[in-house]
Amino acid sequence: MTAQRQRLRLLLIEDSSDDEELLLQELGTSGYDVSHTLVMTREELSRALEAGPWDAIISDYRLPGFTGLEAFSLVQQRGLDIPFLLVSGTIGEDTAVAAMKAGVHDFLLKDRLGRLGPALARELREAVVRAERRKMQEQLLLSDRLAALGMLAAGVAHEINNPLSSLLVHLDLALNPPEERQLHPEEAQVVRSAFECAVHIRDIVRDIKIFARPDSEQFGPTELHRVLDSVLRMAWHQVIHKARLVKDYQGSATVHGSEARLAQIFLNLVINAAQAIPEGQRDQQEIRVVTRPEVPDSIRVEIHDTGPGIPPELHERIFEPFFTTKPVGVGTGLGLSICRRIATEMGGHIGLKSQPGQGSLFWVLLRSAQGSS
Ligand SMILES: Nc1ncnc2c1ncn2[C@@H]1O[C@H](COP(=O)(O)OP(=O)(O)OP(=O)(O)O)[C@@H](O)[C@H]1O
Ligand SMILES: [Mg+2]
């Protein structure tokens, strides 16, 4: 049985065609399917790095006009993290140590190239691990920043709330004056509209505050439908140009949890649903939010969407932290892993039913707190 040959886009810095052939032969024997570009000078190297991408760079130690170490520092200066192996005919121990200290990944002797295949395989694996780690760090930074932004929004909401409370009190007074100073009906209408606008602002401010409460918040009886309404208002602009929004709530529902944490779960599920639905077919698309009591003592919430659905082999993976199919800047892949953690903390469960082409249904089963409030 022949194993699949691994494709390798190789940048070779080398001035001897004999050595070029030797290296390519060795890589071929080690199972690589190499496509390579040969460069000899600093300028050629610069141009080749620009043209990239490269899976690996192999450089001769001594080159006309510059050295392998200088080539390596050129790669580093560009912030590129590509496995870099130095090859040399002869080498003093000092030179080898200096090269490794500079960060060159490995140093090989031309008469012992048998080590080339395994050394390259190791470096390629490690480069993948480094790239994953970098991606994870970037995403963590991003989610940190989002949390900070949430705190900022909560602060602003709090600042708005104080003058808003006075405004509501004064408008209420104006609407209900003493008997002898009754408003003219037209004036009363104007004040009533102002009062309604102020109430609307109060709801928006309340929604913002729900999403930025401290983590230490205690769990207790929480009005589920109030949280869902708040989430749907927050997600309104993302949803409304993509799909119809249908609410199908049954009965009243008090669940064990906290407003902020429940809101986090449902906001992510609703945004995921909206992001899954393609643009431009609003009339045929729907996001449906369903709540049902479930025996014994549970409430089931379902978020249905008419998006492309999810293949069965991904049903578990999508809950893994950092698993995302969205471009950088759109998704961090943290949403569902956070949803599952919060649902479990509240004594609940989360899961999905989905098939490609048949939309998705994410369900959350929560403990009912009916009677304990
Ligand atoms: N309703 C859905 N329809 C289709 N695919 C979905 C749906 N919800 C989630 N997914 C898939 O699951 C992946 C993981 O979702 P998750 O919410 O964890 O992360 P994300 O949405 O990609 O990023 P983030 O939530 O951090 O912004 C998504 O990238 C997407 O591929
Ligand atoms: Mg998400």
pLDDT in tens, 322-337: 889 988 778 888 889 9
Instruction: Tell me how many domains the chain contains.
Output: 2
**Domain ends where: 91, 106, 132?**
132
Is there a domain that residue 167 lies in? no
Is there a domain that residue 343 lies in? yes
**CB-CB neighbours of 13 under 10 Å:** 28
The residue range of the domain holding 92 is 6-132
Is there a domain that residue 137 lies in? no
**Domain ends where: 67, 99, 132?**
132
Q: What SS3 state is found at 46?
A: helix
Ligand 1 centroid to Cα of residue 139, in Å, is: 15
Examine the domain organization and report whether 232 and 110 are in the same domain.
no
| pLDDT tens digits, 21-70 | 999 999 999 999 999 999 999 999 999 999 989 999 999 988 888 888 99
**Domain ends where: 100, 132, 164?**
132
| pLDDT tens digits, 255-304 | 999 988 899 899 999 999 999 999 999 999 999 999 999 988 999 999 99
| Nearest atom of ligand 1 to the alpha carbon of 332 | 26
Q: Residue 178's pLDDT is what? A: 82
Please choose, from the candidates 106, 42, 108, 107, the residue with its C-alpha nearest in 3D space to the C-alpha of residue 77.
Answer: 42
Is there a domain that residue 173 lies in? no
Specify the range with the lowest mean pLDDT, choosing from 14-23, 91-100, 233-242: 91-100
Is there a domain that residue 154 lies in? no
Examine the domain organization and report whether 233 and 337 are in the same domain.
yes
| Nearest atom of ligand 1 to the alpha carbon of 325 | 29
**Percentage above 70 pLDDT, the chain:** 96
Ligand 2 centroid to Cα of residue 260, in Å, is: 17
Mean per-residue pLDDT over the chain, rounded: 89
Examine the domain organization and report whether 226 and 368 are in the same domain.
yes
Residue 280 sits in a domain of what CATH number? 3.30.565.10
Ligand 2 centroid to Cα of residue 269, in Å, is: 7
Around ligand 1, the residues with Cβ closer than 6 Å are 268, 272-273, 276, 305, 307, 310, 318, 323-326, 331-337, 360
Is there a domain that residue 71 lies in? yes
| pLDDT tens digits, 299-314 | 999 999 999 999 999 9
Cis peptide before 178 (omega within 30 of 0): no
What is the pTM (predicted TM-score) of this model? 0.63
Q: Residue 1's pLDDT is what? A: 46
Ligand 1 centroid to Cα of residue 323, in Å, is: 8
Residue 7 buriedness (CB in 10 A; 0-12 / 13-18 / 19+): exposed
| Nearest atom of ligand 1 to the alpha carbon of 336 | 18
Examine the domain organization and report whether 249 and 126 are in the same domain.
no
Residue 77 sits in a domain of what CATH number? 3.40.50.2300
Instruction: Tell how strand 66-67 and strand 56-60 pair up.
Output: unpaired
